[in-house]
Every structure is written in C-alpha cells, then in structure tokens.
Chains A and B, each alone.
Chain A
C-alpha cells in the first residue's frame, strides 16, 4: 500500500469517528498498520490472531469506543465464529477493513481460493460490504460504512482490492 493511501485511510477513519483500531499486519497492510500506530488520536492494538481483534473491538465498543479492525481476508475467514457470536448475535458494530488477497489483480496463485471465498462468506453472514480500489472512494466509503455499522449495530466491511493495496 502506498503511503498516501495509508494516510488517506487513517484520516478518513478519524473523520468517521473511529478512535480504536485493532490490526493484524501483512505486507500489503504494513504502511497502514505503521501509520495507525503512529497516530496519537487512535488507540491502536496490534493482535496475535484476527478473531482476538474482533473480541477486543467488541469490548471497546461496550466501553464507548468506536472500533475498527484491519486485517487480510484470511483473517476475516478465521474470524467468522467470533463475528457471529460476539458481534452479530448480540448486535455489536465493528467496521472491518479487509485486504483482498486473491482478488482481481492477484499474481500469487496460492491466494486464489481464499480470494474467491471472501465475498460469498461476507454475503452468507449478511454483512454489508463495499469494494474499494480508487483513492477518491476511500473517504466516502469509510464514512458511510461506519455510519451503517453504528446505526444497524452490526459489523460492516470494506474490501480493499489490489488497486488500494499495491
């Protein structure tokens, strides 16, 4: 991810009211994770496993924070039970920013299956999501996805494709 894209995401999260972000890094997310860690206005919690991050975000929400989770799609797939039991069942919102390995533009054959499963699993879980690649779409999509998460008391997702991640 280019540094200006990472900076735009961090600034858009703050604009949308997000003040607490759990992350699990990956090569494509490195600049975003480092930028989140350096930002004084965001409480950044690096986690060891993505579903742990979903639990931390849910707890932070109960304590009055506006949380988001940054992870790759492999981590989203790992988090499905956590999302179902901790967020969707009681009605707790978490904005998820999900890097889309194995989506359009993927050069690594090893990511193809996880890439193909990502959207069907989001749909199966009835999680509303938007796919973002263009720079100018980042800010309005983060604002609107966070708005829906808060008003619906449900997790929402932004799937960052290769255009955003490169």
Chain B
C-alpha cells in the first residue's frame, strides 16, 4: 500500500473538510488530487497534529483531517496527549507510517524498530485507534471515522514511495492567504484586519 493510492482512494469523499498536510511529498500528492483552498500545507516537520488541533478547536463544526507522517509525529508525541485530553470530535488524525525519513533520503525512523504509534495514541487516551495495512481497510477506516463524528487516529502502514504528480504551485504566504480568505467566507468571520484610508478626513488647517 502506497500513500498516494490511499489519498486517491479517499479524495472523492471530501467536501468542505479542512486538511493540514505534513512537510514532504504528501502536500504535492494531496494538492494534485484535491486542489482546494481548504488545504493548508505546513512547512514544518512535527507540528501537523498541533496545527490541526488548533484548527479543530477553533472551528468545532468543521471536520479537520491531518495527513501526518511517522517522522513528524515522533517529533511531537506529546501532541497526542494534548489532543486526547481536548478530545475534538471533529478531528481525524491520519499518520502515513512508511518507517523512514522519505524526504531526507530514507534513513529508518523509530517505527522501523520497536515503536508503534497506534499504541502510543491508545496510551495517550485516544478511544478510536485503527491500524490499516491494505487500501480497502484504509478507505473503510476513513469512512467509519468520517461517519462517526468522533476523534479518530488512523495509522496507515505504507511502503515508501512518492506519487507521480507535479510540484504544488503554492508558496506558504499564498497558501495562508487563500486558506484564511476561504475560512472568512465560509465561516462568515473576519480574520485579516484592514486599515481605512484617512483621505476622507477633514484637512488640517
């Protein structure tokens, strides 16, 4: 099972869900499969789960899906304890575990050894934790999470490998503005402040 095939299997099920992607190839794969202003591509290794938590807590009526990786989550294991304690029912935390630092030439991560991230999530207090190893299991697990309206942790054991997609044509600032404008419009909130011109004020004498 490859990550790109997993993403391709679930992309048709997405409507207005918000997505946070991990650093690395997953951002390009997801942007190619589901180009949408509700995708936020994080340029940081480790904080995907935390960004998704902040978003899920801020918008409890919107479904938030995190596409995390094993190398990233290993940098931020404590976030699992925080997420489980906050228990946002609108968050689905998916970890594509390829057991290596794929974007850094493939050295093994701790999950290539003894570490089991699903066991860590369970130990931190996640009630809904599933480990999947086939495409059918992955799609079914995702659909179960989507229908459940509860916090889910899905560990997808994948082979290393990158989908044949072009580089996503979005830089970080552009991605932020598009995402924020989309949230402002779809949630009817004002996030970016703007300053009125003073040209209409009376002139000083």
Contacts and interface: CB of A to CB of B under 8 A. Distances in A.
B58 interface: yes
A46 B57 CA distance: 13
A85 B44 contact: yes
A62 B40 contact: yes
Interface in B38-77: 40, 42-44, 46-47, 49-59, 62, 76
Contacts of A90: 43, 172-173, 175-176
Interface residues of A, number: 34
A34 to B, nearest CB: 17
Contacts of B183: 62-64
B116 interface: no
Nearest to B23: A85
B193 A151 contact: yes
Interface string A53-66: 11111111111110
B78 A47 contact: yes
Nearest to A20: B58
Interface string A150-165: 1101000000000000
A31 interface: no
A123 interface: no
A150 B194 CA distance: 10
Interface in A75-130: 81-82, 85-86, 89-92
Nearest to B195: A151
Contact of B53 (A49, A59, A150): A59
Contacts of B16: none
Given A63-B183, A64-B187, A86 B44 contact: yes
A20 B59 CA distance: 12
B129 to A, nearest CB: 19
Interface string B147-186: 0000000000000000000000000110110011001100
Given A86-B42, A90-B43, 6 more contacts: A48-B78, A51-B46, A55-B49, A63-B58, A64-B59, A91-B176
30 contacts: A20-B54, A20-B57, A45-B54, A45-B57, A51-B76, A52-B50, A52-B78, A52-B79, A54-B50, A55-B50, A55-B54, A56-B50, A56-B51, A56-B57, A57-B54, A61-B191, A62-B54, A62-B179, A62-B180, A63-B54, A64-B59, A64-B183, A65-B54, A82-B46, A82-B47, A86-B47, A86-B51, A89-B173, A90-B176, A151-B195
Interface of A: 20, 43, 45-49, 51-65, 67, 81-82, 85-86, 89-92, 150-151, 153
The 5 closest A-B pairs by CB, nearest first: A59-B54, A63-B58, A55-B50, A48-B78, A55-B47
